[in-house]
Amino acid sequence: MVGERDRLFVALMLAPIFFFLIFFYGYPTLFNLYNSFTDLNLMGLKKGGEFIGFEHYAELLTSRDFFRVLWNTLFWLTAVSVSIRLLLGLLLALLLNSEVLRRYRLTTVSRVLLLVPWATPPIVAVVVWRWLLDGRQGIVNDWLMGLGLIDQPIAFLASIHTVWPALILIIIWNTLPLVTLTFLAALQSVPPELLEAAEMDGAGVFNRFFHVTLPHLMPTVVVMTLLLIFWTFNNFVYVWLATGAGPGLFTNVLATEIYIKGFIDFELGFSSAVGMVMAAMMGVFGLFYFRYVAMREFRDIL
């Protein structure tokens, strides 16, 4: 067990980090919280905003548009894309860890190819995919028409019927390799003797996976799920560069709503209120992460 002197030493070593965290994150958060109670306007920064209390928050809670933005963020941007990445990442990791690729000596090649999307900056990835999915010059439409699957080009990023699947496709292509490689590392840490013992006891492939491999992967799955939620929930780049929150405001999410309200409508006070709601929701995820992941890692110190 760690003694009191060791705990004091750890606390002293961590004190500078907490100071900078409070300075760089605590003060801006409190300043943004104050602005959310004012009618601050981008064109009147020097004048400042007048205190209006909870008017912005009341407007948020009674706005149908805000709940549509919240639905887009929680369901399409976060729940759907995270679920698909977890499933596909696990399946790809199992494929990369299989004997089939080793037998044909394709393990190294497949892993190098997997790194290409991950090494592509998100901005570049979005620009490339916008060209590929373009309704007039996109190569995807050429392929689909060549295969006879469609009769006329589809504006994937301009139609309400295809924009969310296309946007999720871009996100998955760019971020799936990280999930896959994380699960692959976890798969390679499964003790071989456990799998051999299960096989000797008569367990088939599926039984070995669900009763040996999957329980061993669960801590990694939990951590990866929480990290993907963090990275996806507040993401601005993919939605704004791919669709500009359009068509119309059909793909508007919380991150783009903050930008639109603050820098297009000039309503910095309202934008701050949306930001605080978003920060509060992320804080819930943060508490969950600390309770179920970080506490387990630092149990000996605490």
Task: Round to whole Å and give the CA distance between 171 and 154.
Answer: 20
Question: What's the pLDDT band for 285 if we cut at 50, 70, 90?
Answer: confident
Query: What's the pTM value of the predicted model, to 2 decimals?
Result: 0.87
- What pLDDT was estimated at residue 295? 64
pLDDT digits (tens, 9 = 90+) for 230-275: 899 989 999 999 999 989 999 999 999 999 999 999 999 999 999 9
Q: Is 191 helix (H, G, I), strand (E, B) or coil?
A: coil
Sequence-ordered list of residues with C-beta below 8 angstroms from that of 265, at least 6 positions apart, any chain: none
Please name which of 226, 216, 231 lies closest in space to residue 293, comparing C-alpha atoms.
Answer: 226
Q: Is 147 helix (H, G, I), strand (E, B) or coil?
A: coil
Q: Is 130 helix (H, G, I), strand (E, B) or coil?
A: helix
Where is pLDDT greater, at 37 or 297? 37
- What pLDDT was estimated at residue 22? 81
Q: What is the mean pLDDT of residues 282-287?
A: 84
pLDDT at 302 exceeding the cut of 60: no
Q: To the nearest whole percent, how much of the chain has pLDDT over 90?
A: 52
Query: In the beta sheet, which residues pair with residue 51?
Result: 38
